[in-house]
Copies of this chain bind each other. A is one copy, B any other.
Amino acid sequence: MKVTINDVAAKAGVSIKTVSRVINNEPSVRPVTRKKVMDAVEELHYHPNLAARNLAGTRSYTIAFIYDNPNAYYVIDMQNGILEACKARGYELLIHPSNSKSPDVHKELEDLVEHSKVAGLVLTPPFSETAEVIDTVRKLGVDYVRIVSAEAADKDEDNCIQVNDSSAAYELTRHLLDHGHKRIGFLCGGEEHVSTHGRLDGYKRALRAAGIAAEEGLILKGEYSFDSGVQGAKTLLQSTNPPTAIFASNDEMAAGALFAARLMNIDIPGQLSIVGFEDSPFSRQTWPKLTTAHQPNNEIAKCAAALVLSKARSKGASESGSASKEAGIQRSFTPALVQRDSSGPAPE
């Protein structure tokens, strides 16, 4: 019923060791032999048994996905991307939700690596941006990839998949400027997120490039939540000289801003333009639908996973040179403008 390496070996007329060599891409196998084995594998629909591999080998066929994020859409997208990458390479995924503020994180990570014997870690914010966490991971000597805002990659590019918040925010701001907006309000996300700073930076740069001075009164602190968006927009719109456009740091805040504007009977986008960030399903659940920047979380995660896996595999195998610069894996992403209905020309 269940086909094992023995069956393949028998069918191919070689020893099980040779089959093992072939499926692990080890050198020293003649092309003819390799072909014979591959054919047998194909015919029998052979899949190596993960448990046996984990047990026998020194390397592991499991990676872990660590997250602590209230945004379920984000997590699911990431997870699916990682899952795809794992499936494609015959790896297993260990899902590990955790609390980044808990003092146990370090012990948890240690357990994960020592006891569960994982080959690599995919870290998302806030873990990926927490120096202590990264330190712990490094000390453990396990492969890892951090998904981070480009600003946070400092000196660790080899282990990072970067999201260029600043550039995307620049583009989004340009979009508003191009539509004639001169006074653009900016609602910041939480201070603790690196992305918050990147997005603000992009906004400021775009303004500067357009020869417009950033006005402190138009930049409001906040956090990545609906309520924060509502409050921020209210403050902005009730000021003596309100902006004609609002850049909310994520879609959820933008939805809040939209809501606040509606309450004040302000027409969107007629009297006020609003843009969000991320292109979460959220941005399609508002009315009008949000103009935003599309962050391809699924793709990002897929690359992150592919990267850890390539690290793990190169280490396990022939230690052949600089596999760290694995080709074909995109390392940097810039969310692109998605123009929908919440933004338009400045009034008058």
Contacts and interface: CB of A to CB of B under 8 A. Distances in A.
Interface of A: 1-2, 47, 49-52, 54-55, 70, 72-73, 75-77, 79-80, 83, 92-95, 97, 114-115, 226, 230, 252, 255-256, 259, 262-263, 281, 284-287
B255 A285 contact: yes
A281 B230 contact: no
A93 to B, nearest CB: 7
A331 to B, nearest CB: 26
A230 B287 contact: yes
A287 B95 CA distance: 34
B51 A80 contact: no
Given A51-B51, A52-B55, A72-B281, 7 more contacts: A55-B55, A72-B72, A72-B77, A76-B76, A80-B97, A226-B284, A226-B286
Contacts of A255: 285
9 contacts: A2-B114, A51-B52, A52-B55, A55-B55, A72-B73, A72-B75, A79-B95, A93-B95, A256-B285
B263 A226 contact: no
A105 to B, nearest CB: 16
Contacts of A114: 1-2
A259 B287 contact: yes
Contacts of A1: 114
Contacts of A70: 281
A285 B54 contact: no
Contacts of A263: 262, 287
A70 B281 CA distance: 10
A252 B70 CA distance: 18
A51 B70 CA distance: 32
Among A75, A77, A230, the one with the most B-chain Cβ atoms within 10 Å of its Cβ is: A75
Nearest to A61: B51
Nearest to A1: B114
B54 A83 contact: no
Nearest to A255: B285
Contacts of A284: 226
